Structure 1
């Protein structure tokens, strides 16, 4: 059988290569790091996490939890890696990102059916290919994809800063998860009304970094990764109803709910680094230190990584891709990952699972796997291939993309669990995994 080429060793590329190799297919995996890095990547390892170390909720009655369970049942490599290096994060599955990348890299490089080439693919090769080069696809390859697909959808994406735990004033923070879920897995920095209003005023007046090599005249900022300064500009209380919402938390010093709160989530098992949850930003580095230093407990914070902003490029997948992630006009060419219009770490990995399974099935003359729309993976694949609206936007896992239940269930948690149970019961997972 002809070798299958996979371009890119991010989350989607790793899953695609793994699924092919585990089923007996031969893979040549191209990864340009460490020869060349994108503006957002720093590590030579595979499956590098950029924005956050959280893979979202783990419980089954959540959209993210259901997605991961479906992936697990299809033999996901990365869900397994995540479970092996998880760190405390309340009801979320968060990982030590360095260990996560190492485990994925070792698994891929050690597989006998995978040959890794540490070089940039300048063009899409002939024959069977999974293109999983991500939303930061570079150079000539990006141009070729755009030409092949008749244009692309571009917008701006941002990452949150990370601070050193030893530099925090723990006397001003308190450990707790919302509604006491988990075991105090987040550090919370509470603000009263006056502190919050001063912070918002400083944030709105802070100087933003120039956006080089982009058309910054009218940037589209994706709602799911909104820079905190952009969100603050939507109204004085926008942050209090967004990443700084105080609901489900009580300050032990006062016995009351804070006016606003900044949550910090651990980045590694040693709890030596913390991510500012929801604080994606494009402020200049000095401004980040000044403005975020106004957050109680962060006055002397040392930044292990400042927030950054970069452009993401997505295909206008409806009309270009089928629900099995193959290109309609070139069936042996598959796309996977955020470049297809799925949004999120696990969503990208899930698309890689389906692309890997399906390209091998196609080569073997078998019917490709399209999961029912009652599953989260099936609903997302139908979204990117069959969206009929005027403004196609990336989509992450959410229960709104699933068909409604036939019966009315008023309790939200019970309704979500019923949707999850229906999804898992709607597929013969052993046959799908074969």
Structure 2
């Protein structure tokens, strides 16, 4: 049997492979690591997480929670493994990143319909069904090739990853465990700051030395993942109303909310590592040590990983993709993942699910599916396939704002989100039933 070829073994590629293999369609995953590494990957594992270890909220009234529930109903491999390797994170789903990637790879390696080939692909194969899921860290050769077949310059944005701290270097006498508003288990460590400590920290942060871009003048930051020092420059209170907001996190020593809070999230099951929530940065390493040690409880922090910047590539998908995620110029080719302009782990993985399902349906001569924009996955696909001015096209997270509006306006946000979620799942189940999607 002819094999479907998947270029890229990240979250989207792994999901696509799973959807094809479960339908007994042979798959070849081409993953360039470890022969060719990226600036931020550390292992050869498929589905390695290079930024946060969090997949965000699991609550159905949260856009991320709704996205996960849709993925669960479409038999997501990534979500299944994430739930098996999760670490405490309140109402969020966070994983032990090494166990997670190992398990995803093991499941695919053991599947008789999956072959993993370790080599860099520099061009899309000229025949057969192909899924391009090279991700935001697409190799320079393949990125150059994409600019040629897309007949346009690749667009890109810069992303940043947060530092990870060894737990045994944290002063637990100064921090306290709590999740915001007491929701879920008390998974986060909170470093409280008074006004004087906060203002000194912000001042040092905005004046610290940063790593200069290798592409001067080309930085295009994704608004949802700005470096902490960029946020700090927007005003003295920006961090206090953003990643360092103390609301819902009273200090048990005082019974009151601190002036500001830095949250730490466990990175692994053993809780030997903690990441700094919302602290993606491009500060120089020595500056990270100096400035972040001003945070109460982190005076002697030792860093297992410093925050770093990396170049994320994506293209203007609306000009080239159909709502089935097929390449308009050659319909045997599908695109999936962050390279098409979705932002986030689960967003990327969900594109792999649909690309895999539609590639399987094309392979078997079945009609392809287009999810309605009332579903979160359908709305994300709608975003990356609906034409907008090029200059306005930026990566998109799951959010209720991209869904088709409700028939009747609802003022209460929580009720509105619940109605969105109920409608989305109802419409998705109808699609699954009518098209026998999971068969």
Counting only pairs closer than 5 Å after superposition, residues 365-376 of structure 1 correspond to structure 2 as 365-376=365-376
Per-residue deviation, 1:125: 1.1
- Answer yes or no: is 1:189 the counterpart of 2:183: no
| Residue matched to 1:98 | 98
Determine helix, strand or coil for the equivalent of 2:334: strand
C-alpha distance in 2 between matches for 1:90 and 1:414:
22
Deviations 1:211-236 (A, max 9, x none): 23xx2224111111110001111111
Deviations 1:85-118 (A, max 9, x none): 1111111011111111011000111110011111
Determine helix, strand or coil for the equivalent of 1:172: coil
Point out the more displaced range, 80-89 or 408-417.
408-417
Per-residue deviation, 1:263: 0.4
C-alpha distance in 1 between matches for 2:114 and 2:422:
35
| Residue matched to 1:426 | 427
Per-residue deviation, 1:415: 1.5
| Residue matched to 1:413 | 414
| Residue matched to 1:334 | 334
Please, what TM-score do these two structures have when normalized by structure 1?
Answer: 0.98
Deviations 1:395-433 (A, max 9, x none): 010011111212333322222111111011113324222
Counting only pairs closer than 5 Å after superposition, residues 309-388 of structure 1 correspond to structure 2 as 309-388=309-388
| Residue matched to 1:161 | 163
- Answer yes or no: is 1:146 the counterpart of 2:150: no
C-alpha distance in 1 between matches for 2:283 and 2:51:
16
Per-residue deviation, 1:266: 0.5
Per-residue deviation, 1:323: 1.3
Determine helix, strand or coil for the equivalent of 2:419: helix
C-alpha distance in 2 between matches for 1:216 and 1:239:
26
- Answer yes or no: is 1:82 the counterpart of 2:96: no
C-alpha distance in 1 between matches for 2:252 and 2:141:
56
C-alpha distance in 1 between matches for 2:8 and 2:25:
17
RMSD between aligned residues: 1.1
C-alpha distance in 1 between matches for 2:11 and 2:216:
28
| Residue matched to 2:256 | 256
Determine helix, strand or coil for the equivalent of 1:426: helix
- Which structure 1 residue ranges, 5 or more long, are not aligned? none
Per-residue deviation, 1:171: 0.8
| Residue matched to 2:201 | 199
Point out the more displaced range, 141-150 or 101-110.
141-150
1:170 aligned to 169, 172, 191, which one? Answer: 172
C-alpha distance in 2 between matches for 1:23 and 1:315:
30
Determine helix, strand or coil for the equivalent of 2:241: coil
| Residue matched to 1:393 | 394
Deviations 1:264-307 (A, max 9, x none): 00001111100100000000000000000000000101100000
C-alpha distance in 2 between matches for 1:306 and 1:265:
15
C-alpha distance in 2 between matches for 1:249 and 1:387:
42
CA contact (8 A) 2:143 2:154 kept: no
| Residue matched to 2:295 | 295
CA contact (8 A) 2:227 2:281 kept: yes
Per-residue deviation, 1:359: 1.3
| Residue matched to 2:228 | 228
Per-residue deviation, 1:69: 0.9
Deviations 1:363-414 (A, max 9, x none): 2222111111100000000100004244100001001111121233332222
Deviations 1:288-329 (A, max 9, x none): 000000000001011000000011111100111111111111
Per-residue deviation, 1:50: 1.1
Per-residue deviation, 1:189: 0.4
| Residue matched to 2:122 | 122
C-alpha distance in 2 between matches for 1:75 and 1:84:
14
Determine helix, strand or coil for the equivalent of 1:282: coil
- Which structure 2 residue ranges, 5 or more long, are not aligned? none
Please, what TM-score do these two structures have when normalized by structure 2?
Answer: 0.97
Equivalenced residues, count? 432
Determine helix, strand or coil for the equivalent of 1:154: strand
C-alpha distance in 2 between matches for 1:46 and 1:140:
20
C-alpha distance in 2 between matches for 1:133 and 1:221:
20
